[in-house]
Structure 1
Amino acid sequence: MSTGPNRILDEFAKLMTDAAGAAQGVRREVETAFKGQAERILNSMDVVQREEFEAAREMAAKAREENGRLASRIETLEARIAELTGQATPAAPAKPKPKK
């Protein structure tokens, strides 16, 4: 066993190590409690999760693209029908600007 100032420093170092370990444990507990409370609050507010939002946004973008393709196809078919029947081509409605 060591005696004198070295023993005091060893005990102090051990005390600081134990205190640091306890502080980390307390920090983990506080983080867990905070995350749980934040999750409960967000769930009660009906906030959409990021993954769900991204999926819905992708679906909307695909739907806009498909609508554009279908509108173009309809215009082509209407022009072809007008050509075959000898009618004037109906005035095409103004296309809305795509949103980004």
Structure 2
Amino acid sequence: MTDGTNRILDEFARMVTDAAGAAQGVRREFENLFRSQTERLLHSMDLVQREDFEAVREMAIKAREENVELARRIEALEARLAAREAAGTAEKPAGGRSRK
């Protein structure tokens, strides 16, 4: 009787082992399917990669800093021009005509 019981237990152990292997195979299949569907969804959403985003962000920061610097320079030039114009109007002859 012990041979019969051992055979049954061996068969049961083999079935459990096969079931565990099949479950792992199903798990791998599901992971692959999930990964491919996720990649397809992300690709269809037209998302930007992190590296590209960071590069454009750095370019925008640099452009913003350059714009601030250029605005400061323009203000300085306008102030100099206004000072020259003010000095030029103060030196105009009494006749109202300026020399060029």
- How far the C-alpha of 1:38 sits from its partner, in A, is 2.3
Tell me, which stretches of 5 or more residues in structure 1 are unaligned?
89-100
Match of 1:64 in 2: 64
**Mapping of 1:1-20 within 5 angstroms?**
8=9, 15-20=15-20
Matched with 1:87 is 86
- 3-state secondary structure, aligned to 1:87: helix
Q: Which secondary structure does the structure 2 equivalent of 1:49 belong to?
A: coil
Give 2:26's aligned residue. 26
Runs of 4 or more off by more than 6 Å in structure 1? none
Work out the CA distance in 1 between the residues paired with 2:80 and 2:19. 83
Deviation digits for residues 29-69 of structure 1 (CA, Å, limit 9, x no counterpart): 21222221222233233x22241333323322222122111
Of the two, which has the highest radius of gyration? 2
Partner amino acid, structure 2, of 1:82: A
Provide TM-score, normalisation by structure 2: 0.55
Q: Percent identity?
A: 60
TM-score normalised to the size of structure 1? Answer: 0.55
**How many corresponding residue pairs?**
84
| Residue equivalent to 2:48 | 49
Q: Which amino acid aligns with 2:71?
A: A
Structure 2, unmatched stretches of 5+, are: 88-100
Q: Which has the higher contact order (CA 8 A, sep 6+)?
A: 1
Higher share of residues assigned helix: 2
Which one-letter code corresponds to 1:68 in the other structure?
V
1-structure distance, mates of 2:86, 2:16: 92
